[in-house]
Amino acid sequence: MTSLFTDAGILAHADLVITSVDPGSYLGSPLYAVIPEHRLAFLGLVLVLLGAWWVRRRAARHLSCEETCVYRRYDRLGLRERFVFWFITTSAVVHLGLVLGHEPSGYTLAYMLATIALSWISLRLLTDRPWRRPARYVLIGSIFGYAGTLLAGGAPDQIGILTKLIEIAALAGIIVAPVATSQGKVAESLRSASVVGLIVITGFAGWVGAMSTGDGGHHLGETPPPGVLLPGGEDREPTATEQSRADHLYEETVAALAKFEDPAVAASHGYDVEGMFGNDFHAGNESLKDDGRILDPHNPETLVYAMAGDRPVLLGAMFEMDEIGQAGPAVGGPLTVWHAHDHICLSLTPVGIAGLQGPFGSCPAGAINIPITNEMFHVWVLPGLEDPFGDIDEDWLDEYLTDIATR
């Protein structure tokens, strides 16, 4: 069946349909990107790597220079001290890049203080003055300062997370004994565990920051939460035509989906309703995927259900494009924005969605990373919803489901 929304005439409207989208032009969560203000810091990171290589070469050639020359001093450092030196220096340079990359604010002052403190420690290390105790304090302060910023709603990005990993490694280089000793086993295990703990704290804060920065990811101009990609563009008011088309799409979808309120009917049409649970269960229909029909309310690729106690409730439909990078027809303009997903973790034991790629750049072991999906678009058919194409408020949904469960 061909509906209004798969009509070639509508799809051909240049102002409604983007015919092809470069996957790189999507707007995603800053968690998986280097935000523009951090590009100088990234440059600093690269320069330190080059500097490390250069100093290493020069140090080997300048062993005959004066006792106090920098190369002699560097050469006197033990392997572990060099490791800590470069990591602290890297953090100092990155913080300097942050100072230069941001508009002046309280944060830039904090970055500047961190730059000074970290540089001071690097210098003390190189000049053989006591450095371990102040290094511990500064590194712990920097790691917890960043975690605090994220927990307060700051956005994590690749530079931020990588710098904290570098600082945690430097701190580990100070607190963890070079090799295990037979004395103080418990203390040594605790020190090792504290390194693990710092990673978990940073990772947890990264998730909180990334989630609280996201705006929902269904309207243009929003910052998507992790795992959601939006096409670039600014939100605007819909035109009368767009509003009318959106209303029509909603009404037609509500009418077409009524029969699927009973999951048995959905199953008879090929939807996989087995093992239904939770309040966001997606029942896909493989036979409708890649079938050439786009945004057909009578044949949505996926139905979405929630459980109200032991009763399944149909929430709506999810339409999908056939190919990655193919833009969906925004028939209702800014009301009907399609989105894609990125960094999805797919478990292989057994096969199924297993969350999103974490702040440290990996899915859990045993899962593969799906970097991007086809574009998709939800139409929610629940009565009383303010925005049938956007996010369903979780509290509203819980209340709605509780009400149904107690009827």
Partner 1 sequence: MNYVSLHPLVSIVRILVLLQAGIAVMSTVEASFASLAFGPAAGGLVFINLGLATMLFLLANRLGHGSNPARRILRLLQVLLIVWAFFDLTLAVALAGRSIELVGFATRIVLPVYVWRTLRRPDVKASFQARRAEPEARDRVLTGAPA
Counting contacts by CB under 8 A, is residue 383 touching partner 1?
Answer: no
Measure Cα distances from 231 to 18, 130, 137, 235, 337 in Å.
10, 53, 43, 11, 8
Closest CA to 249 of 305, 331, 320, 329: 331
**DSSP bridge pairs for 302:** 284, 318
| Distance of alpha carbon 280 from alpha carbon 189, whole angstroms | 42
Site for partner 1 in 301-330 (CB under 8 A): 324-325
Least spacing, CB of residue 138 vs partner 1, in Å: 18
What string marks each residue from 164 to 183 as x (binds partner 1 by CB under 8 A) or -? -x--xx--xx--xxxxxxxx
> Which of 359, 375, 378, 388 forms a contact with partner 1 (CB under 8 A)?
359
Q: From residue 1 to residue 30, what is the string marking binding to partner 1 with x (rule CB under 8 A)?
A: ----------------------xx------
CB nearer to partner 1: give 252 or 272.
272
Selected from 349, 384, 386, 406, the binder of partner 1 by CB under 8 A is: 349
Region 206-235 residues binding partner 1, contact defined as CB under 8 A:
207
**Shorter beta-carbon distance to partner 1: residue 296 or 320:** 320
- Binding segment toward partner 1, per CB under 8 A, in 8-16, 237-245, 305-313, 363-371: 363-371
357 binds partner 1 (CB under 8 A): yes
- Please, which residues have CB within 8 angstroms of residue 282's CB and are 6 or more apart in sequence? 302, 303, 304, 318
Q: Report the residue number, 258 or 368, with the smaller CB distance to partner 1.
A: 368
Q: According to CB under 8 A, which residues from 69 to 88 bind partner 1?
A: 78-80, 83
**Is residue 372 part of the contact set for partner 1 (CB under 8 A)?**
yes
Q: What is the layout of strands, in order, in the sheet containing 376-380?
A: 281-284, 302-308, 311-320, 376-380
For CA atoms 373, 379, 380, 384, give the dihedral sign.
Answer: positive
Task: Report the candidate in 178, 184, 142, 181 with the shortest Cα–Cα distance to residue 163.
Answer: 142
| Contact track, partner 1, 182-201, x by CB under 8 A | xx----xx--xx-xxxxxx-
- The closest alpha carbon to 247, from 284, 298, 297, 321, belongs to 297
Residue of 45, 47, 55, 36 lying closest to 166 (CA atoms): 45
**Nearer Cβ to partner 1 (360/396):** 360
| 224 Rama class: left (phi>0) / alpha (psi -120 to 50) / beta | beta
Binding span for partner 1 by CB under 8 A among 93-101, 104-112, 133-141, 346-354:
346-354
